[in-house]
Amino acid sequence: MAVTTDATNCHPSAFRSLIHDIDQDLTAGEITDIKFLLRDKIRQGRLETCSRLIDIVEELETLGEVSAGNTDLIIELVYRIGRNDLVKKLGQSVAGFKKYLNERGSRLPLFRVMLHEIAEDMVKRERQSLLFAVKDDLPASKLEGVATTQGIFLALENAELLAEDNVSVLIKLLTAINRMDLIEVIARYKPGEVVGPGHEAPRYPLPPEVAPTFIGAHNSNDYYKMDAKPRGVCLIINNYQFQHLGCSLPDKQRGRRQFRSRRGSEVDAESLRRSFTRLHFDVVIEENLSCRGMDDMMARYAASNHANYDCFVSAILSHGTIGHVYGVDGWPITIRDLSNHFKPLNCPTLKGKPKIFFIQACQGSDKDIAVRVESDSPMGENAENDSPVSNVQPDANEPREPITLPNEADFLLGYSTMPGFVSFRDIDSGSWYISSLSRILDEYANREHLLDILTRVNQRVSREIFENTNLGQDIINKQIPAPLFTLRKKVFFY
């Protein structure tokens, strides 16, 4: 029985148009992930010729796996690679599809899903360690040209060292690179586990010396509970396209500001989406919200039921000044007002759970700088979009209140910069803060708690410099993030 979606019964031409739109939205890496998941359904020779989703869907149509009236396999593929936005684009809610999987079971081999989940949790350095470790089991000739975790798994399968009923080498390799937490993924497929009606999971026996070491490792009074799947919601507000207000504003609108577009912010949003998807969060991205829109969005999520979640995360990417962020309409709102929606009185189902906010925005002076790097603070009244400006101008809005925390426990506010200072963003690679945060999370979230991770972020951001020549003088601009928190325990995302 197929999933009932808006796309399920669409006309074939509308179906192909939808697949084309989704194809345009997928990266080459995501296509590689989809091909890996389909390795057991499409013959290898045919699969290797597929470079786009359109090609893959044509192969699946030939096999009778998908059609305009049967899109559940496509929905599962984009769901498995963490593209919840595309699940919705296909006309299905994420919650509804999860219910379908629980009731009907996966259309994909569970062994392949397991390998994909493990591969997704690997970062570059760990892939290199895995490639080094596997050389004890495979000759160099079998690893020639292999650069991905999926490639390593396929090489092991081809050598008959990895299969549904044989994961001992995989367990050995994960242990060798100190990723005991990933053995938990294998443990989900332990003997007799039923995943859906009529779908008994394959038997993956765990060595007795391995199995007990990771289950419940963080169930301590020193740590927040963090084992729900998903962990919680990660709400990303990405304000990058600001309204043009003209050169002069009425006196009653003096609190309103003119801004440049925040080029490069889409890189930040995508980095965070990938990182928190890997950390088992349901990621939602909302774009270009007004001041009122941001407040309403926070109130909406605070009013949601978080009883089955262990955490809430939000990232706000916008222009700002001390204690405030701006909507795309140029109006400011205090960060305190946004975070206060999640105090226990307003959001009782998050009481006692960590509420984490990352703020990528200036917290002070207006600095117009060169094109390749911009600051997330208000632009001068006569500044042209993308034009290099040599003079440094003060923020027209004087700081109105200090940076503060909600007067409740279990909050963390990760500011990208100190009070009074600008926050830098590269228009090609994203902001210094968010790019560092995403990279450090990918590398260390499996072994360190959040405050240690943020210390590493501070260290990394502090090494960044921007050299600016102003009136014949070389000026070096730097930045240091400033996390504030009332956490009572350590936050481990694994």
Active site residues: 319, 362
Tell me the CA end-to-end span of the chain in Å, nearest whole number: 35
| CA 37, 38, 44, 50 torsion-angle sign | negative
Query: What are the C-alpha distances in Å from 412 to residues 14, 150, 189, 285, 450?
Result: 46, 36, 35, 20, 10
d(CA 214, CA 179): 10
Exposure of 303 by Cβ count < 10 A (0-12 exposed, 13-18 middle, 19+ buried)?
exposed
DSSP bridge pairs for 359: 316, 415
Helix (H) or strand (E) holding 34: helix 28-37
Rg of the chain, C-alpha, whole Å: 24
DSSP bridge pairs for 284: 235
Buried b (16+ CB within 10 A) or exposed e, 48-82: eebeebebbbbbbeeeebbebebbbbbbbbbbbbb
At position 364, the amino acid (one-letter code) is G
Buried b (16+ CB within 10 A) or exposed e, 202-238: bebebeeebbeebeeebeeeeebbbeeebbbbbbbbb
